[in-house]
Amino acid sequence: MDDPAVSAFPAARSGEWRWLAVWFLFLLLLALLFPPIPIDETRYLTAAWEMFHSGQWLVPTVNGEWYSDKSPLLFWLIAGGWKIFGVHTWVARVEALAIALAMLVMVRRLAARLGFDARGADAAMWLLAGCAGFALFAVAIMFDLLLALTVLGALHALLDLEARRHGRGIALLGAWIGLGMLAKGPVVLLHIAGAALLAPLWSRDVRAAKGRWYLSLLAAVVIGIAIIACWLIPAALHAGPDYWQPLLGKVTGRLHASFAHRRPFWWYLPLIPVLLLPWVLALRAPMRAWRELPRGRTGAFLLCWWLPPFLAFCAISGKQIHYLAPLLPAWALSGAYVLRKDGARLRGGVYAGFTLLVAIGLCMLPAWAARTYGYPPQKPLMLFALAALAIAAGAWRAWGREVRALALAASALASLSLLAGALALRPALDVRPEAAFAASALRAHVPIVHIEWHNGLFGYTGRLLQPLPVVARAQVLDWCRAHPDGWLLASDRSNEPPDVAPARAWPYFLSGSKRIGAWRAADVLAAKPESMRN
């Protein structure tokens, strides 16, 4: 290893587990206190809640309707956790955090298998642990970190195949592909295709036996398809055309419209530096170190791993930042690879300045949230800024040149920033009060509907035991005439009854009107706005 880079790496020792426990605790507080965030997390929790409550685990449902958008593995894990620990949001978040911890261990092992020494493997692990994007995804109730875990498992299986452990490699690769499909569908194939299909570029052994390599890949894919088929075929037979026809339509529709570029090709580029904080500010290396990155077995493997899926995501029209979560390990390994080079180092000064700006933002956050959503400011939350100032001082004076320390500081900053934001915005994020209102009406057999589809917003949060009915905007007046003693809920400004003030309202950050409103049917009928007659 080049001497100038040695100071950037922590010593390799069994005590790394102690520091991983510290990292875990930093994010555990966030996992325990973070409310479910509408509309994705609340929808996924509703799918798991209906699975848990109904006992029907084969086909996911949302608001009593078949939910064909996502595979069921995440819902199974959440509902299974609830069977053990009870129905709590923190169960799903701690499961996500456990997946993140497993990813860190797998990344360290992958680095060792790619030729990194112990210090370099530790650095790869801590570079991933310290990424701001990884801290966010590590407690998110989403599919992408679970997908990322299966991708890492598949890459380990590819290295088994390269080492001529063919039976083990094929079996493990097929199993990880199958689990990846159960986690988030066929996109797992996109994430491993580059490293698998371009293996002759990074492996001399594969170049010498291409036929056997590609036959092994084909066998593994067949195993993966067989695994997903063990769920998909019974699910399709159980739910019928109402389930599998929309599923097929979504797949073919996305393929047909995948190059419509509703978001521009470059949309991800300005977001990547945010995901890779603090390293985009702290990692310094001469240009020759970056130019050498694609060279050699390790560099070529990393480039084949992340570049093809990244270009595909740029080309596909539908773009979300969490789609990049499975690429973070590849970028962390790339950073550790560069840190081995002569002249590479870490510098915490610029990141300390950024942390100071975060502290200023945290100081202003409670007043901004209260002013925006109309509730009293939570001034004690300004104390979070003091912790950010302490992190800024530490990164500047002591922690900025050692990868583990800076990773822990960055994880602490990400955790307290997200927690401060969640607490400041909690009245506008937490839909439990309005969900409790809907649940109370349903229990009392009071007519209540939501205007247009609500994405399962109230199922889990209200622990609903029956679906919350939905009415089309054009049918609101007809419904009100049929149920003059009923209630209408609306969570989007475009669906609110015009010219009628809601009888109840709760702050809500996703609506253009910054509220979820409840209208009495009698009030809507009394107003009879002309725009609702048509």
CB 410 within 8 A of CB 132: yes
The amino acid that residue 94 corresponds to is V
What is the pLDDT at residue 318? 82
Q: Which runs of consecutive H residues, i.e. helices, occur in 374-508?
A: 384-394, 403-429, 432-443, 476-482
Alpha-carbon radius of gyration of the chain: 25
Residue 10 lies inside a defined structural domain of this protein: no
The pLDDT of residue 41 is 95
Mean per-residue pLDDT, 291-302: 89
% pLDDT > 70, the chain: 93
DSSP 32-60: HHPPPPTTHHHHHHHHHHHHHHH---SS-
In a domain, 42, yes or no: yes
Both tokens of residue 459? 């199922």
Provide the pLDDT for residue 6: 43
Task: Kindly report the length of the chain.
Answer: 534
Picking from 405, 429, 453, the residue at the C-terminal end of a domain is 429
Report the number of distinct structural domains present in the chain.
3
Look at residue 341 in the predicted model and tell me its pLDDT.
85
Q: Is the pLDDT reported for residue 315 higher than 70?
A: yes
* Range name among 37-46, 247-256, 309-318, 375-384 with the lowest pLDDT average: 247-256
Tell me which residue of 70, 68, 63, 34 sits closest to 49, measured CA to CA.
63
Q: Which residues pair with 284 in a beta bridge?
A: 345
316 with 359, same domain: the answer is no
Residue 292 has pLDDT above 60, yes or no: yes
Beta strand segments in 158-314, E: 283-284
* C-alpha–C-alpha distance, residues 214 and 94, integer Å: 38
DSSP string, 218-239: HHHHHHHHHHHHHHHHHHHHHH
Q: Report if residue 526 sits inside a domain.
A: yes
The confidence score (pLDDT) of residue 2 equals 40
Mean pLDDT of the chain: 90
Residue 246 is assigned to a structural domain of this protein: yes
Distance, CA of 350 to CA of 234 (rounded, Å): 55
Residues whose CB is less than 8 angstroms from the CB of residue 142 and which lie 6 or more positions away in sequence, other chains included: 40, 41, 44, 74, 96, 322, 325
Given this model, what pLDDT does residue 534 score?
A: 47
* pLDDT confidence of residue 459: 95
Considering the domain architecture, whether residues 420 and 460 belong to the same structural domain is answered as: no
Q: At what angle do helices 118-130 and 403-429 cross, to 10 degrees?
A: 20
Last residue of a domain, one of 329, 346, 363: 346
Residues 156-182 have a mean pLDDT of: 96
Q: What is the pLDDT of residues 53-78, one digit of tens each?
A: 999 999 999 999 999 888 999 999 99
Residues 396 and 380 in one domain: yes
Q: Two tokens at 470?
A: 């939905």
Cα separation, 245 vs 259, in Å, equals: 23
pLDDT at 9 over 70: no
Give me the mean pLDDT over the 213-237 stretch: 95
Does the residue 3 lie in any domain?
A: no
How confident is the model at residue 395, as a pLDDT? 82
> How far, in Å, CA of 266 to CA of 263, rounded?
8
pLDDT for the residue 5: 41
User: What integer pLDDT is reported at residue 418 of this predicted model?
Assistant: 92
Among 171-185, 279-293, 307-321, 337-351, name the most confident range: 171-185
Tokens 């933002």 belong to residue: 361
Confidence bin at 198 (pLDDT 50/70/90): very high
Q: For residue 4, is it within any domain? A: no
Q: What is the mean pLDDT of residues 383-389?
A: 89
Q: Are residues 453 and 419 in the same domain?
A: no
Q: Does the CA dihedral 185-187-191-192 come out positive or negative?
A: positive
Which residues make Cβ contacts (< 8 Å) with residue 51, sequence separation at least 6?
57, 60, 61, 72, 75, 76, 79
Whether 4 has a pLDDT exceeding 50, the answer reads no
Q: How many angstroms separate the CA atoms of 15 and 405, rounded?
A: 14
Mean pLDDT (whole number) for 257-265: 62
The three state secondary structure string of 191-213 is HHHHHHHCHHHHCHHHHHCHHHH
- Residues 44, 142 share a domain: yes
What pLDDT, on the 0 to 100 scale, is given for residue 376?
87
Taking residues 494-522, what's their average pLDDT?
A: 92
Residue pair 461/42 in contact by the 8 Å Cβ criterion: yes
Three-state secondary structure along 362-404? HHHHHHHHHHHHCCCCCHHHHHHHHHHHHHHHHHHHHHCCCHH
Give percent helix, percent strand, percent coil of the chain, each to the nearest 5: 65, 5, 30
Q: Are 111 and 2 in contact (CB under 8 A)?
A: no
**Residue 5 placed within a domain:** no
Instruction: Place 319 in a pLDDT band, splitting at 50, 70 and 90.
Output: confident
Summarised one tens digit per residue, pLDDT across range 430-440 is: 999 999 999 99
pLDDT at 467: 94
Residues 420 and 489 in one domain: no
CA distance from start to end of the chain: 74
How far CA 415 is from CA of 31, 146, 397, 499, in Å, comes to 9, 20, 21, 42
Residue 351 Cα distances to 103, 330, 383, angstroms: 25, 22, 21
What pLDDT shows up at residue 378?
85
Helices then strands, each counted (H, E), the chain: 25, 9
User: What's the rounded mean pLDDT across residues 509-523?
Assistant: 92
Average pLDDT over residues 241-265: 62
Same domain assignment for residues 261 and 142: yes
Q: Are residues 204 and 333 in the same domain?
A: yes
Q: Which of 346, 370, 402 is the last residue of a domain?
A: 346
pLDDT, one tens digit per residue, over 440-496 is 999 999 999 999 999 999 999 999 999 999 999 999 999 999 999 999 999 999 999
Instruction: Tell me: do 134 and 267 sit in the same domain.
Output: yes
pLDDT band at 14 (very low <50, low <70, confident <90, very high): low
pLDDT of 296: 87
**Buried b or exposed e, range 177-208, using 16+ CB within 10 angstroms:** bbbbbbbbbebbbebbbbbbebbbbbbeebee
| Mean predicted confidence (pLDDT) in 407-425 | 92
Per-residue pLDDT, averaged over 102-112, amounts to 96
Which of these, 344, 360, 356, lies nearest to 279 by C-alpha position?
A: 344
Q: How deeply is 40 buried, as exposed, middle or buried, from its count of CB atoms within 10 A (0-12, 13-18, 19+)?
A: middle
Domain housing 183:
15-346
Cα 290 versus chain centre, distance: 29
- Are the C-beta atoms of residues 261 and 314 closer than 8 Å to each other? no
Note whether 277 and 316 are same-domain residues: yes
Q: CB atoms < 10 A from the CB of 49, how many? A: 26
Asked whether residue 93 is assigned to any structural domain, the reply reads: yes
> What value does the mean pLDDT take over residues 381-385?
88
